[in-house]
Structure 1
């Protein structure tokens, strides 16, 4: 499926997918954008498009992912919506800040089924709405009683990211992958850290494969750490999930359905 950008948000989205340097601009453009979400308010117009009025009820559709969890889809343009949804559906045009505020606690997905998109977890949405930005440059965390300095590399290893992306695309159990740098108190300089959000029974083999690819493509001879991340864990997991953007996210195909009993956001 070809995807031609129709606005500045879509332009920086396609750039940010492969180059982290564009991600701050992407988040800035996103928060000022008006997007399109499948659903309806109590007062729809004849064209199928709605605008939200104060006091109106709001019904938003959810898409179910292969892992059984749901996300609210939203789209960066009408053209993007029409690529993802082939049958006639009611939709609303909403400012992103309004959409995020109305759906607090839910997972949202920008441009699902399209070549370029992004999942937004509840904690990331809260962070964006708080005005703190999309990521932190550096943070001190406690992990197992040891204070670690963790942050984002000034220069991302492009070859490593490309090779790891190709590897992870072959493993359906890899949901997301993050890259940061970490420094322990006794280290002279930080080294790279790869965080994997994955499930399944072959995680050890996956970690070994990722470690081999990372070692073969690293830009210098510093050690590389790998770890599994989880939404429920503090420390390293919290930093990677909340304060960084994954360099790899699994695309998911899903079927459209109204959530019974939870369609109102």
Structure 2
């Protein structure tokens, strides 16, 4: 495999959830390759002029659904086909925009690949992350119980530690378990980030949390300001818990190993 920054980023993301936000950023600015042709193009590589009409080849995945294959580099493309075909290079963002609503598969028949669902593509285009955060706001004062989880989310916390070392704007990160009262008590994990200008870090952390949170466990992500009220949720995290990450020094986590949900898989077979 040639030295290709996008492919190398894909490999890192396959092994480490903390590397996935960087992969998504790199993908959105990269040139990728598709099987197909444009106006007047012939067999082999073509370029895509503005306003051109494109014919892009569709495949079927294992479930019989129509998908569009695209590739990090020409070697991955050539390994996936059995005969000579025309291909085009174009920005990944342009492909996402022109194929909205269609499933896409990166590097089928390769050891490293990923399927992109339409809602995931839409989120990438809107905020640069595969995960669209949902904002929740309480309409009235709510009684909650706060503490530490008995089953510590080690995989999630360790992935966040690795991620946050690349975000110096995050001064510290905290974790707790929150249980809301009422007739049907609800539990969720809460991750708090303290620092300034946290939008970039918050989106990246949300993406990592979506991939590594314990199965079936809701996770809320909040920002902790320097003037967080004592006694509130943010104040509890800041004043009564030990941060699992501090700028320039990540706190140690428990050594028990938690299973990770699969994210990448070999696609289509062959090769």
TM > 0.5? yes
What is the 5 A alignment of 1:149-188? 153-156=156-159, 184-185=179-180
Cα drift, residue 247 of structure 1: 3.2
Query: In the superposition, relative to structure 1, how do residues 57 and 189 fare at CA in structure 2: closer, same or farther (>3 Å)?
Result: closer
What is the 5 A alignment of 1:99-248? 99-135=95-131, 140=136, 153-156=156-159, 184-185=179-180, 190=189, 193-194=214-215, 247-248=262-263
* Residue of structure 2 aligned with 1:43, choices 21, 40, 49: 40
* Residue of structure 1 aligned with 2:266, choices 251, 254, 257: 251
Match of 2:7 in 1: 10
Cα drift, residue 5 of structure 1: 5.2
Cα drift, residue 89 of structure 1: 0.7
Match of 2:61 in 1: 65
Cα drift, residue 127 of structure 1: 0.7
SS at match of 2:127: coil
Query: In the superposition, relative to structure 1, how do residues 221 and 141 fare at CA in structure 2: closer, same or farther (>3 Å)?
Result: farther
Deviations 1:213-250 (A, max 9, x none): xxxxx96599x9xxxxxxxxxxxxxxxxxxxx963344
* Residue of structure 2 aligned with 1:55, choices 44, 48, 51: 51
CA distance in 2, matches of 1:125, 1:73: 14
Deviations 1:117-137 (A, max 9, x none): 011111111111113433468
Match of 1:166 in 2: none
Cα drift, residue 83 of structure 1: 1.4
SS at match of 1:154: helix
* TM-score using structure 1 length: 0.56
Match of 2:72 in 1: 76
Count the aligned residue pairs.
179
Contact 2:58/2:66 (<8 A) preserved: yes
Q: Are 1:19 and 2:40 counterparts?
A: no
CA distance in 2, matches of 1:246, 1:73: 24
Cα drift, residue 41 of structure 1: 1.0
SS at match of 2:90: strand
SS at match of 1:193: coil
Contact 1:182/1:193 (<8 A) preserved: no
Deviations 1:24-44 (A, max 9, x none): 111111011000000111220
Query: In the superposition, relative to structure 1, how do residues 137 and 22 fare at CA in structure 2: closer, same or farther (>3 Å)?
Result: farther
Structure 2 spans left out of the alignment, 5+ residues? 139-143, 145-152, 161-175, 191-212, 217-253
Contact 1:16/1:26 (<8 A) preserved: yes
Structure 1 spans left out of the alignment, 5+ residues? 143-147, 158-180, 196-217, 225-244, 256-265
Rg (Cα) greater in structure: 2
Cα drift, residue 67 of structure 1: 0.8
Query: In the superposition, relative to structure 1, how do residues 13 and 183 fare at CA in structure 2: closer, same or farther (>3 Å)?
Result: farther
* TM-score using structure 2 length: 0.55
